[in-house]
Amino acid sequence: MSAITPPPPALTPGGTPAAGRERLPLASLLALAMAAFVTVLTEALPAGLLPQMAAGLGVSEAWVGQTITVYAIGSLIAAIPLTAAAQGVRRRPLLLAAIAGFVVANTVTAFSASYGLTMVARFLAGVSAGLLWALVAGYAARMVPEHQKGRAIAVAMVGTPLALSLGVPAGTFLGTLMDWRACFGSMSVLALILMVWVRLRLPDFGGQAKGRQLALSQVFKLPGVRSVLFVVLAFVLAHNILYTYIAPFLAVAGLGDRTDLVLLVFGVASLLGIWIVGVLIDRHLRTLALASTLLFGLAASVLAVAGEAPALVYIAIGIWGVAFGGAPTLFQTALAKTAGDEAADVAQSMLVTAWNMAIAGGGLIGGILLDRLGAAAFAPALLVLVAASLIAVWAARRHGFPAVSG
């Protein structure tokens, strides 16, 4: 973390040591990172445990796959109304309530023998995720001065690539050693520990006073908010078309039996991406947004011509990972700075909704492309979406992705 934490000035103007003010509050930010880790791992864990869960619940693997779908639906439905309704609630109790939702949902999943009850629990987990994602970026930003907001959000978001690159494979491995229910039980225990961590180490912030609360329409019309949301929708839609159907795409490239290695390359590259963004974001947000979009376009272009050349595929996957790793931090920071403290949480709930729409859209559009045109159609579709993202970032030079950030 030393690369993320800048060296503090020796003294304040009054002669008092300023280290306490200038250092990032890592213990608090890492609690938020753990919250992101729990959220992403709870969402994705069934993907690595499909056979075991199908056998345990007496349904097909395809039906178990819908536990991920219903989770996304819960987030999609709940994020905006819950966040808007809770504008006046103090932030720490609200965050604790969201984490408690994971405790309940994962505990029910661990003990449930009913597919219907499991689906209800997964929907509750999705609702909790929608609320939590709306809070994390704004919470991190409020703990630090303006010039450190981007780095703080980067630290808080590091749990996301860690969950995808390490957590899901580890959960899958544990599922082969133990019963799948133990994996969800472990998630409940982790969430309980996190609740204690949050209660002890996170500062509490007040909600918005009645007179200062903004309506959804007011937040949506703030300059730059719609630009950031459009970029999120197009960029993440492109990502999910490829990520959801990476296995059939790799089969065409002759790498059908190396999906695990390809995803590992993607995960490691994502960690590099979020590190780069964490170091540079507070001074170069716009440049990083443009660079990430261009890198994603480069990756799609390489994949379009890679054919059956494994080396090119691995290079493209690595570039894609670097481009995507820092993207959540970039978009959340851009939106937090654009909306300001008073509207940050409501704006983030809109980002959560756009993100989950992109996840659902990626599955739908990718499936149609795969069924009608084959996996070769993915790269051109990605290029169209990435080009739209690039144009939107470039056009938002005054608000959203300003030419001078921080």
Q: Is the domain of 246 the same as that of 381?
A: yes
122 vs 101: CA distance, rounded Å:
10
CB 333 within 8 A of CB 149: yes
Domain of 366, in residue numbers: 215-406
pLDDT at site 43: 85
Q: For a pLDDT cut of 70, what percent of the chain falls above it?
A: 89
Any domain includes 1 = no
Any domain includes 5 = no
> What tokens does 352 get?
């959560």
DSSP per-residue letters across 71-129: HHHHHHHHHHHHHHHTTTS-HHHHHHHHHHHHHHHHHHHHH---HHHHHHHHHHHHHHH
pLDDT at site 5: 35
Any domain includes 202 = yes
Place 7 in a pLDDT band, splitting at 50, 70 and 90. Answer: very low
pLDDT tens string 50-84: 778 888 999 887 788 788 888 988 988 888 888 88
Q: Is the domain of 208 the same as that of 234?
A: no
90 vs 142: CA distance, rounded Å:
13
208 vs 84: CA distance, rounded Å:
10
CATH number at residue 340: 1.20.1250.20
pLDDT at site 102: 97
pLDDT at residue 307 tops 80 = no
Q: Is the domain of 276 the same as that of 242?
A: yes
pLDDT tens string 352-400: 888 888 887 887 888 888 888 888 888 899 999 999 999 999 999 988 8
Q: Is the domain of 163 the same as that of 244?
A: no
Among the three residues 182, 213, 244, which one is the final residue of a domain in this structure?
A: 213
What mean pLDDT do residues 312-331 have? 92
Q: Is the domain of 163 the same as that of 264?
A: no
Place 172 in a pLDDT band, splitting at 50, 70 and 90. Answer: low
Among the three residues 213, 248, 275, which one is the final residue of a domain in this structure?
A: 213
Q: Is the domain of 225 the same as that of 192?
A: no
Any domain includes 8 = no
Q: Where are the alpha helices (DSSP H) in 307-326?
A: 310-325
Contacts of 77 (CB under 8 A, 6+ apart): 127, 130
pLDDT at residue 47 tops 80 = no
Place 1 in a pLDDT band, splitting at 50, 70 and 90. Answer: very low
285 vs 330: CA distance, rounded Å:
7
What mean pLDDT do residues 266-282 have? 88
Place 210 in a pLDDT band, splitting at 50, 70 and 90. Answer: low
339 vs 379: CA distance, rounded Å:
34
Average pLDDT, the chain: 84
77 vs 203: CA distance, rounded Å:
29
pLDDT at residue 150 tops 80 = yes
Q: Is the domain of 24 the same as that of 60?
A: yes
pLDDT at residue 216 tops 80 = no
pLDDT at site 165: 67
Domain count across the chain:
2
